[in-house]
A and B are shown apart, each in its own frame.
Chain A
Amino acid sequence: VNDGGMRARAREHDGALVVFLWALVLAVLMPALWVLFENRLEPVLATAGVAAALIVSGAALLDRGGGADGPGWHSWPTVAFAVGAALMVAGAAFGVWLVAAGGAVAAFGAANMVIERRRAR
């Protein structure tokens, strides 16, 4: 049966659990190896990276399933939002006017994404 993964999403947590354990092992193993080799604990990076994996896998573990993801097979507001966001980031280097213009485009896209989702429901 092609249930689109809905049953798997609602019932099976083994995948998220595997990843969660992987991140957990890393979180313990990496600092331990570090101290063992160098007698010091240098970067916070490893911890931060592992934390990101823990957050994603933890969120997946807690996900109880839900409705369909998309509004259909096309979404122009998504494109508007992405382009607007890109302009905003570029504005950090090239001026506030670009941040404002990008923000307007992104807000327009985001508003239409909300409308799109409501229509889908």
Chain B
Amino acid sequence: VTTAATEPRPLRGPVAWATSVDHKRVALLGAGVSAAFFTAVGILALVMRTELAQPGLQIVSEDTYNQLFTIHGSGMIYLVVTPLALLLGVYFVPLQVGARNIAFPRATLAGVWLLIAGGVLILLGFATGQGAGKAGWFSYPPLSDNTAAGTPGPGMDMWVVGVMLAVAGSGVWGVAVLWTILRRRAAGMTMLRLPPFTWTMLATCLLVVTSFPALIVAMSLLLADRHGLDLSSSGWPIDYQHLFWFYGHPVVYVMFFPFVGAALEAIAVFSGRRLFGYPAFVVAIMLFAALSMSVWAHHMFTTGGAANLYYAGTSTLLAVPAGLEYVTAAGTLWHGKVRFHPAMLFALAFFVQFLVGGLSGIWVGSPPLDYHVHDTYFVVAHFHYTLFAGSLFGLFAGIYLWWPKVTGTLLRTGLAHVHFWLLVVGTNLTFFPMFIVGHEGMVRRIADYPQSAGWGGLNLLETIGSYVIAAALLTFAANVVVSLTHRRPAGDDPWGGQALEWATTSPPPPHNFDRLPPIRSFAPLLDLRQERT
């Protein structure tokens, strides 16, 4: 066993953080930026829910409301959840494959600065005379055109450019993580010894590489269209939708797969067992990735510009690999020595709550049913059950699992339980009634609704739920502050981890490992423990 070469001593202070090419620092810098954006665009959601608590309130104007839902949606997708999903990989994939650093570390750092530039531009739109972008997170033309009937003004231009930059930054991370998996694995780390989380990141990065360029093309054309290039006679609105959703659907899985991986790692660790059905899991995640590239125009059923039969077929087929992932999770729990640590609770809730989003996805994947609920709150409920109830719970499973590794400290368990239960209650209170009002015909993106519709009660519940969510997130923030100011040392492997990240110190040194254990399976540390006993 040998040790790594001597490394230059890392700098300290903000400049060191801003310029670091250590993948762990880059990931933490990016996560901090995303957390700041999350706070900003999360507050916008609270304003929207307050507006909709009862009919006729009109706290904000309709024009402002359009800006709020646009920046909330696009902020969460482009600036928060996608970056956080990929940054989880930027931090942990090099550790899990036994690499010294990520591939293309400088490009990875540049990605964070592209995210910062993109996010600042998008939010600065509020400071312009005509306001921020207000054509929705997908900004279809002609609504996003630079005409009086569309969305004129520099705020919309800033939105377009900001989206391009943020997505380019995420795209760079996707290539870097993919390349790390393909070409930076330590000796002995064959593909079928990759930990589950790394497999999900591989599938994620394939989607990034394949689909993200389409959005940059779409935004470039949109910008050109807004500044003189006349695309109106070429079927542009439908072509734009194809381009957009070629990115827009795979990105849903970019915001899902890494959290499946994090939740499965948590379930395996806190069940004391290795992942059940690993080969089937690998096949399922790759099948999932392939199919998710083939479903994009199910968002366009009602346009008449998509091949509905094809997309309904591929969309419904997604249930097969999704079901296999659930079997993997359930099989790992079966006969396991289950510990209900907060990471495990969040992982279980992730799978349960995502199921609601997934099953309602089968509903909207069927053209006749989708025609009924298209552009209603049913769809809002569906994608919040996948992206909020799904992704966010998976993210917290990962945070509670890996926090000791990243910081060397333990989060407070009591506060974590309060955080968990508030989030479960808040999430379901906010998003489940949306299925009902959506089914009854309440359309999305409206700043008000008629008293006579009888939706006031359910909307009030949703608004109360959104404030419960805010309380849950404040509880988590308090936990972070308490844990970092009153530190309880975690040790290198407090949970009995299975993958290589637990074989180094907490937090890991810049070069990641002084030594690596033998790698004979996807759970080398579990192998070692089992050999000792």
Listed in ascending order, the chain A residues whose CB lies under 8 Å from chain B are 1-5, 7-9, 12, 14-16, 18-19, 22-23, 25-26, 29-30, 33-34, 37-38, 40, 42-43, 45-46, 48-50, 52-53, 56-57, 60, 63, 65, 69-76, 78-79, 81-83, 85-87, 89-90, 92-94, 113
Residues of the B chain whose Cβ atoms lie less than 8 Å from the Cβ of A16? 182-183
A45 touches B106 (CB 8 A): no
Residues of the A chain whose Cβ atoms lie less than 8 Å from the Cβ of B223? 92-93
Residue of B nearest to A55 (CB): B209
Chain B, 102-144, contact with A by CB distance < 8 Å: what is the 0/1 string?
A: 0111110111111001100100000000000000000000000
B21 touches A14 (CB 8 A): no
**A74-B19 in contact given A2-B515, A86-B113 (Cβ < 8 Å):** yes
Count A-B contacts at CB 8 Å. Answer: 207
**A50-B7 in contact given A2-B98, A14-B191, A74-B19 (Cβ < 8 Å):** no
- CA–CA, A22 and B290, complex, Å: 8
* Shortest Cβ distance from residue A69 to the other chain B in the assembled complex, whole angstroms: 6
* Shortest Cβ distance from residue A39 to the other chain B in the assembled complex, whole angstroms: 10
A93 touches B160 (CB 8 A): yes
Listed in ascending order, the chain B residues whose CB lies under 8 Å from chain A are 1-4, 7-8, 10-11, 15-16, 18-22, 97-101, 103-107, 109-114, 117-118, 121, 154, 157-158, 160-161, 164-165, 175, 178-187, 189-191, 202, 206, 209-211, 213-214, 223, 226-227, 242-243, 246, 286, 289-290, 293-294, 307, 309-310, 313-314, 510-516
* Shortest Cβ distance from residue A109 to the other chain B in the assembled complex, whole angstroms: 9
With contacts A9-B184, A73-B21 known, what are 14 further pairs, Cβ within 8 A?
A2-B514, A2-B516, A4-B101, A5-B186, A9-B185, A15-B183, A19-B178, A22-B286, A26-B290, A33-B294, A45-B214, A56-B178, A70-B21, A75-B19
* Shortest Cβ distance from residue A103 to the other chain B in the assembled complex, whole angstroms: 15
**9 closest residue pairs by CB, A with B:** A4-B100, A5-B184, A86-B117, A82-B113, A82-B110, A49-B210, A93-B157, A37-B310, A8-B185
Contact of A46 among B3, B8, B97, B293 (CB under 8 A): B293
- CA–CA, A93 and B10, complex, Å: 39
**A86-B99 in contact given A2-B186, A70-B105, A72-B8 (Cβ < 8 Å):** no
Residues of the B chain whose Cβ atoms lie less than 8 Å from the Cβ of A14? 190-191
Residue of A nearest to B192 (CB): A14
* Shortest Cβ distance from residue A56 to the other chain B in the assembled complex, whole angstroms: 5
What are 22 A-to-B residue pairs whose CB atoms are below 8 Å? A2-B4, A3-B187, A5-B100, A5-B186, A7-B187, A8-B183, A22-B289, A30-B294, A37-B307, A43-B246, A46-B293, A48-B213, A57-B182, A63-B183, A70-B21, A73-B11, A73-B21, A76-B15, A82-B111, A93-B154, A93-B226, A93-B227
* Shortest Cβ distance from residue B294 to the other chain A in the assembled complex, whole angstroms: 6
Q: Chain B's interface: helix, strand, loop or mixed, by majority?
A: helix
B314 touches A78 (CB 8 A): no
* Shortest Cβ distance from residue B12 to the other chain A in the assembled complex, whole angstroms: 11
A89 touches B164 (CB 8 A): yes
**A73-B510 in contact given A4-B184, A30-B293 (Cβ < 8 Å):** yes
Q: Chain A's interface: helix, strand, loop or mixed, by majority?
A: helix
Residues of the A chain whose Cβ atoms lie less than 8 Å from the Cβ of B164? 89
Residues of the A chain whose Cβ atoms lie less than 8 Å from the Cβ of B191? 14-15, 18
Residues of the A chain whose Cβ atoms lie less than 8 Å from the Cβ of B209? 52-53, 56
- CA–CA, A40 and B310, complex, Å: 11
**A45-B294 in contact given A19-B182, A56-B178, A82-B113 (Cβ < 8 Å):** no
**A81-B110 in contact given A15-B181, A86-B117 (Cβ < 8 Å):** yes
**A79-B161 in contact given A4-B100, A12-B185, A22-B286 (Cβ < 8 Å):** no
Residue of B nearest to A20 (CB): B182
B106 touches A78 (CB 8 A): yes
Interface-centre pick from A33, A38, A43, A93 (highest chain B CB count, 10 A): A93
Residues of the A chain whose Cβ atoms lie less than 8 Å from the Cβ of B154? 93-94
B106 touches A83 (CB 8 A): no
- CA–CA, A72 and B223, complex, Å: 38
Contact of B307 among A42, A52, A83 (CB under 8 A): A42
Contact of B210 among A2, A7, A53, A72 (CB under 8 A): A53
Residue of B nearest to A36 (CB): B310
Interface-centre pick from B117, B190, B210 (highest chain A CB count, 10 A): B210
Residues of the A chain whose Cβ atoms lie less than 8 Å from the Cβ of B113? 78-79, 82-83, 86
* Shortest Cβ distance from residue A11 to the other chain B in the assembled complex, whole angstroms: 8
- CA–CA, A89 and B310, complex, Å: 37
**A75-B109 in contact given A4-B4, A5-B183, A8-B186 (Cβ < 8 Å):** yes
- CA–CA, A57 and B178, complex, Å: 9
- CA–CA, A7 and B183, complex, Å: 9
Contact of B1 among A1, A46, A49, A71 (CB under 8 A): A1
- CA–CA, A72 and B77, complex, Å: 33
